[in-house]
Structure 1
Amino acid sequence: MGAAMNPPSMSEAKTSSSRRKGRVQLLLILLGVIGPMVLATGMYKLQFWVPEGRSYHGELIGNGQTLADLGVQAKEDRWQLLVTAPKACSVDCQQLVYLARQIQIGLGRDASRASHALSAAQPLSSDYEAKLAREYPQLKRYPMDLTTFSKATGDQAVPQLWIIDPHGNLVLRYGPTVKGKDLLNDLRHLLKLSNIG
């Protein structure tokens, strides 16, 4: 009975206090590591605290689609401005091809990090073919599988301009009314942030 009444010794009290401190420190470390991941996952899944503003002008393609998903078979190790024409390459398409070339030139010292290309589902007119050969010597040309393209884009019949990263991933999409300054700013921003290409 006397042994049960004895208070804990000083060493036992220090050990108990040290264990409590250790547990609190471990808990704080775990919260510091796991907490941000749980918060980020919750923000992504539940779409809360997501900023409304954006710094780009095109439509962001964030679903992992690649050039192959567009029905375009191409291999490029640089950033690419690709114009797609699911129908005849008429005025809107030709304007986007011109714009893609001007944007690449407008990159200045970074021009070698990008290329411009055209993928058309239908043959081009002989006049436009001659113009491309004469005025667009660096324009890359790729065939298009129209069935695959239609599945990926929801059967959009209008020409579009795409920014594609050096791994072939679709990054941004623009319609025929895109402003050259907006497109140039977007591409410059991507090149600034990117270590590839």
Structure 2
Amino acid sequence: MNPALSVNDAPPSRRGRWLLLALLAIVLGPMVLASAMYQWRFWVPETRTYHGELIGDGSTRGDLGVQADEKRWQLLVTAPRTCAEDCRQLVYLARQIQIGLNRETARASHALAISEPLADDYEATLQREYPQLGRYLLDTQAYRSEAEGDTPALWIVDPLGNLVLRYDVSASGRAILKDLQLLLKLSRIG
């Protein structure tokens, strides 16, 4: 005497196949959806949490024309011409942002990359007031191919030397500090 098979009592092999298909859809579905969103640019949020210009093309500090071996997060000020008032303001801002990191200060540094020698009075000021400021030579041809224009800029560089964010001279120090704090919070390196 065989009782009648109900709808819920499907043969075990069929139930196993449905379970396998559901498991594959759960695992592979989000990856396929994310790849499609990236490829065809749909459902991409318009709002951003950062304030600078995101550098997402894999450019490095070396591509920018700066040869440095810094293994911490870096606030790098670049000046393709002389370090005039805009450049000096960014150098001051970089130091203030590093100080503003409080207990995370040791995870970041600030530096200046220039292509021309500094004025003697400003050089003396930097030696006296900015003793931890790193200084590098800037290759102007590499810089011009990577950055737009000849204006000074402040860059956030990760410990691997990758360019992360770029700011111009009109950027707010508070906004840059918030961006760097978020990067330090999310980062496991540096």
Aligned-pair distance for 1:161? 0.0
| Percent of aligned pairs sharing the same letter | 60
TM-score (norm 1): 0.89
Distance 1:152 1:163 in 2: 15
SS of residue paired to 1:148: helix
Match of 1:90 in 2: 84
**Alpha-carbon displacement from aligned partner over 1:133-176 (angstroms, at most 9, x marks no partner):** 1110000001111111111114x100000001111111100000
- Radius of gyration: which is bigger? 1
Aligned pairs, number: 182
Match of 2:13 in 1: 19
Amino acid at match of 1:173: R
Structural mapping, 1:28-177, within 5 Å: 28-154=22-148, 156-177=149-170
Q: RMSD over aligned Cα, in angstroms?
A: 1.3
Distance 2:24 2:104 in 1: 44
Amino acid at match of 1:90: A
**Alpha-carbon displacement from aligned partner over 1:26-61 (angstroms, at most 9, x marks no partner):** 111111111111100111111111111111110011
Unaligned 5+ residue runs, structure 2?
5-9
Aligned-pair distance for 1:69? 0.7
Distance 1:40 1:123 in 2: 49
TM-score (norm 2): 0.92
Unaligned 5+ residue runs, structure 1?
1-9, 11-15
Match of 1:6 in 2: none
Flag as ranges the 4+ runs of structure 1 deviating above 6 A: none
Distance 1:35 1:185 in 2: 34
